[in-house]
Structure 1
Amino acid sequence: MDDRALLDLAIGGLAVAGWLLAYGLARLVTRPASPPPDPATPDLGAEPPAVVSLLVNRWQVTEDAAESTLLDLAARRFLELRQPAADPMRTTVHLPSTAPDESGLRPYERRVLSRIRGLAVGGVVPLSALTFRDEGRAKSWNKRLRAEVVADARAAGLSRRRFGPGVTAVLVTLAVLAALGTGAAAFHYALWSDSEDNAAFPVALVTFMVLTGIAGLSPGERDTPLGRQVAARWLGVRAWLRGHEQFAELPPASVTVWDRYLAYGAAVGATRLTSAVLDLGMGNRALVWSSFGGTWHRVRVRYPRFWPRYGRPLSNLLVRSLVCLAIGAALVWLLPGGLDSLADIDGTGRRAPDPVGDGIFAVGALLLLFGLYLLVRALADLATERTITGEVLWLEVWNSSSQGNDSPPRPWLHYLAVDDGTADRTTAWGLPSEWASRCQDGDTVTIRVRPWSRRIVDLTVVGHGRSRQLTEPATGDLGPTPPTGAPGPVPATPRAPVTVELLTVEEVTRALGQPVRTGDAMALGGVIGGTQYLSAERGRPLLLVQTVTGAPARWAWRANSRGQELPGIGDGAYASGDRAALRLGDTTLVLTLLGEARGRHTYLPWLLAQCATRLGTERRV
């Protein structure tokens, strides 16, 4: 390379390196302080635990902020933690029958409380069921919570931006100088090289945009004089809490005894056991909580991966089987050394050894057997399709395929784990990725599946889960309010979900042929209601009764108005397998047989008639 080119490259490189050096010095100068702790003290301050977590962790919001906020809500009687056995992992969260005054709650405290209320079934949710099942929602929820904690700390004068206006202005000015340096180097290179295209301006512009973009990124928070003073006091509280060895081994339910001390202990990192139990991040996909059936229970989920049949459509399996049969037949009958090698017998009456021919024959025979096995199982899989209704436990990408042209891979298959209430273990199904947007975790779905290939061939959402109510932020700016009198759609007022008892326990017991009891009632979004009938002996779900009103009722009717028509029941009724539906006015009712009750579908028309009678009575009232 020419010396002049090296000189121009060095000038441009030094200009950028000078800016990066200044940026590094700015980060070094503005790094958060680590104040020495005050003497150990049991005196708590007025700062909330989430802000305390920020201060003692050098102005970084960690997972302790959300966890300590939950414990603080329990200490202030907004919720209750109960541990029914010796295992802290079995701790449950209970909401009080009468909610305390929430006017003094901070935004992040409302966020945590809203998540608990949204997931609770009958006012109860297992503590370890508060984790997320979708990575995007987990990141969004925690990001908003961190922003709310930082805003609270800034409002109290305990924290500030790490790069203030002065530092940012200096970095932008230096970025202008660096851009001029790279632009001058590019201009000089174009002059002596007789280049027709002078790239000085584009080079300078790109340099300026990149460097100012880096300067605009927030590197976090830093201390203030008041913040350092308060942090030192809380470090003294941490020293006092760590001086009690038994404090680190306290379970979450001990908040009833230790009151807010346990919450602040979690905030400063002094509660080993409690912090290990509490988690508001991503959950474990192999052990998922389910509320299907009206009671919380954990389900172990297996995710098949290695066998090529899993999630594959029938056409793919048939093509594979035919290819194996064709190649196997060619090796056995057509290629030299196939069947002919078996007749290669010498004069002594014994077959001469032929390792190559024997190997070819063995491979061909194995391919024939595998192709035949694949063909038979694929056709049997088609003949043994079945329908399952249950709660969506987990949904994530299984397989992706590249689209070429350096484009990112596009998913074509998703895992879908469903709990149908029949066992505490299940295996995820293969869901075509174009259907993945239809459902979310917690939804009640009916899927038609092929058991051997674990392939879903049809999916219908029959009830929306509680997670849909938690996708929007619990607090925060939701955008500008439309001006008064501005035209726009007027939302319809949905009819309240049906509250009358549509079926008695005696009627369901007679229809299903075994004693039953009712589970917890459901009311989702103000338009979907439902009741589950459980086995009186084993507590397993047997019958799901769902009522849908408003616009969702029309969608539910379209999805369920198929099969055998049942005249004379409501405004229309149909039965299809283990499911039956009726329409009455703006309400759609769906009955679904579950678990051991499957096969008792001959009683569904009678159960529908009972529901129609009582539903009509309620509508007249």
Structure 2
Amino acid sequence: MADVLLAAAAVGLWLLAYLLFRIFTRPASPSPAPATMDLGAESPAVVSLLVNRWSLTEDAAESTLLDLAARRFIELRQPGNDPMQTTVHLSSSPPASNDLFPYERQVLDRIRGLAVGGVVPIAALTFRNASESSSWNNRLRKSVIAHARELGLSQRRISRTMSAVLSVLAAGVGLAVGYAAWHFGIGKAEDDRPPWFAFAFFTFAALSALGARSLGERDTEAGRATAARWLGVRDWLRGHDQFAELPPAAVAIWDRYLAYGAAVGATRLASAVLDLEMGNKRLVWSSFGGVWHRVRVRYPRFWPRYGRTLPHLLVRGIAYAGIGSLILKFLNDLWYCRWIGIALLLLGVYMLVRTILDVAIAREITGEVLWRETWKTKRQNEDNPAVPWLDHLAIDDGRADRTTAWGLPTEWASQCHDGDTVTITVRPWSRRIVKVVTVGQGRSREMTETVTEEETGELSLAMMPAAATPPLFSDEDIAAVVGRPVASSPLPLGLQFTAAGTGKPVLLLQSLSGLPGRVAWRANQRGQQLPGGAYVNGDRAAFRLGETTYVVTLMGEGRGGRAHLPWLVAQAGQRAGS
């Protein structure tokens, strides 16, 4: 018996060492630096890794796509008020792609592979095959992590040294288990059972594999400082309510700010429209508390107490205690039966006590519904299919950025809709909901929802201030630049000029005032500086009149008029002066 206890103690000590390694290597949660609008040199995908506690989310691919648009590799165009109508256009004269990181090239290659005639709808970027989505996103994840490690901003959570230490300890545990098996006569010459060293090797292999398993990334000293700085950028962006409701096409004005906003989780609408995977129920947007943020959700499945009713738990506890008592009474002479009886008796008593306390300490939680899905089903009979009787319900109560789903009886599912604010009465130990009260109605916030014109109308007005009238450019001015007749039409982000006859966009004029205007001006101060402080950079020109920033972008066939952009800016200055 002493040998068995020694082997059990060895396994327990190894598990304790492994647990301590996991505790001491948990990724840090650095405090944000002071709010700032100064961007750093790190790519948006790497920033997404750092600000999410060294865990990569779908923000990495989405922010990379926006960054490619900001750097003119692609164009994002929104022809109407619905951001879901956004289309991605391949640039006819993109910059050199030699400087792209592998994960940036991977996103660009997917867009090029799906484009037909140089255009792909934004909704077509979503994967339709789960295995393809998993493979593509895993490849992108490894590439981003490798880049972060090269920069010294990330490292393996369980280092190779720690894995080696755990393997050495596992070898000692294997010897202890093998010795206990040998001492009990397992594997001796007269025994047909597996030899004792098979137990030793299996124990060593299992524990070594567990110790070598990847647990993701963790922080470094440089990574913590960089993450704190980017968290300061996130706080600055979140301080402006309008920023969260910017559509993807706004990258034409906000430049890389929108890409980094997606990376740090500050762009609710743009991130909702963009989707480069199958969707993630474990990372859900929430507006509870007045600020858009993402909440990580864990879904309990395997523990038998989760979601169970009070009678079920009481019966199970009584059954365990009763079986254990019977074993102790009638099979007490066998040592292993004695231990089994004691374990069952203690488990039954524990379940009874915890079930009673669970009812006594039931509490109320108020929060926003994040996600609801079927959890457990049962078959009524052979002729009828399985019917659900318990759902998972994830609630954000505003206490933390992580939560665990509760067990919701299916008959109450109709009372809980995504985005609703509800008050639930719960039993914490069994995680079962016993009462639901809807406090406030909310629209669906699923990541695949379509944003309607009514929801973006206010934003559209804010993006086109009164300073845009009288018009700075006439149709004749634009026709002189692009070399063909044009017609103008209003858009949520400004005015779009299309070629007469074909209807294809050739020029986009956008204007912003106030804080968005100052940010747009800062983002577009690049390229050739013109008299009066305007800038021309390739297909784009930017200038300020008073407190309003104007951005002119040539598109499609209109790019042939690059040489005339300085003249067009001068025309705007003359009209404004008159």
Please report the TM-score for the alignment, with normalisation by the length of structure 2.
0.47
Please report the TM-score for the alignment, with normalisation by the length of structure 1.
0.44
